[in-house]
Amino acid sequence: MKKINVPLFAMGFLLVMIFVIPAAVVPVQTSDLISVMNSFMTRDLAWLCFGCYLIFLAFPIYFAFSKYGKIRMGGKDAKPEYTNFEYISMNVCSALAAGVVTFGFTEWMYYVTATPFHVEPYSIQAYEYASAYGMFHWGLTMWPLYIMPGIAIGYMYYNKNSGAFTVSAAMGDVAKKHRWLGWILDAVAAFHMASGVCTTVGLGTPVIAQLFASITGMEVTFALKMSVIGVFMVFLVIFATTPIKKGMAAISKFNVWLGVILLALVLILGPTNFILNTTYQAAGTNLSNIIDMSFFTDPMGDGLLSGDWTVFYVVWYLGLAYKTGIWIAKTSKGRTLKEIFICVGIWTSIACWATFGILGNYALDLEVNGGVPYSSMIGEIGQSGVIADIISHLPVPVLFMAGFLVLLFLNIATSVTSSVATGALFTSKNLNQDEEPNAAFKLLWIVLCFAIPVAFLLIENATGVAALGIIKNFTTVMSIPFTFMGLLLIWYFIRVFRKDVKDGLLDEELKAK
């Protein structure tokens, strides 16, 4: 107990309950309130979200590819704690989770009708943009949004000996001077630690339940979805409470290899040339339209793509940035700023582009050349039903359903494991740099992390509203506070970093070859 920041954990727990209790008692009203708030933020404040996105994107690119890319977490003599493959696998798996598989199969379907740049729905150009836009939302300009908080937290913790992973510790003398500000920032961040996995678990649980039902012949029910969450919690008790080296590193490596095998099989057994040609073109569309995509707020259109999707993704990334930043910082000791950028900004983007290119374009071929109208079916049977149907077109569909079920399960498990670890780190104090939180304390965080996903299931069960819509609305609303908190963190880090450069504290590293 001496190493648990009890007041901070209590504040995070209280904020989670402020959402969970109304969701359980008055689910319809809770859903309506979140929907109204989301509509205002994604339509009227789109400019603000995109502006913050560009700030979070620009700084890590500058730090990685300028002379400062040589700066090492922990100082010039610090050594990496993990092999390159372990480091890349853990950071890729902690970030991707279930979304990359579920949206990898289905995201293009939404953009065939909610088209960008006012393209005619269901036209050839609409399908081409649909194939490319998912890769934009999961690509080279999005993943770097996690990096700047990770650099700021890691530098303050390892290089400046801040002593904790809290926002107040990372904000140093500013938080000490204004203690009330430090407490508010820490409380908001603690809430985000717990709520950050809601999208991951909320998206993946229905798909896993559907795949399990398709394999066994069972019916997808509320009880089955709750059972999936129960299995997750048992699994996490085993892996999240073990040291990172034994738990997260091991399942991340297995998960990466399983994903590579499944993608390779879909590519080989599916319409290989169509997948490769469409993926190649989609990559080119991204590179040639990246500026237009990054500024498309659609003020004179319906805003369905920009508001419902691009703004959602931007604030989702920004809302997870502190949680993911702690994980990046924890695993990046001994790594240079350039190495961190390459891992999170490039390797993760490559993994996403491969997933969207293969899974999405396999499904796209079934609609365009196979006549299966998935883009209209998804509104009727939902993501999980569509994904099960897509997989059923592969040879030996039962084996592929089992394979993707395991992949989804492990994707979610690795993401929640990192959330549990970062949440426990965040609400601990007086830990040594190589020390991890107590296993029993991680168990409390497992319960806290699943509280909001359970609330989503209760709302879905009570209202009949698809979970995807509820999750997107909640994610957008809850992520806005951290966006401003992240800007404060970046400002303070740059202030400290510039002073260290001016004082000559980084001269040795900057002069190194």
Summarised one tens digit per residue, pLDDT across range 5-45 is 888 888 777 877 877 788 778 877 877 887 787 777 777 77
Sequence-distant (6+) residues with CB within 8 A of 424 are: 436, 437, 438, 441, 442, 445
Contact in structure between 84 and 253 (CB atoms under 8 Å): no
The residues that bridge with 72 in the sheet, in sequence order, are 336
Q: Which two tokens stand for residue 252?
A: 């991340």
CB atoms within 10 A of CB 89: 26
Q: What is the DSSP letter of 159?
A: I
pLDDT score recorded for residue 96: 62
Task: Report, as ranges of residue numbers, the positions in the chain whose pLDDT lies below 50.
Answer: none
Q: Residue length, the chain? A: 513
DSSP codes joined into one string, 27-72: HHHHHHHHHHHHHHHHHTTHHHHHHHHHHHHHHHHHHHHSGGGG-B
- Nearest-CA neighbor of 316 among 15, 49, 58, 94? 49
What structural domains does the chain harbor?
A: 6-479 (1.20.1730)
Sequence-distant (6+) residues with CB within 8 A of 288 are: none
pTM of the model: 0.86
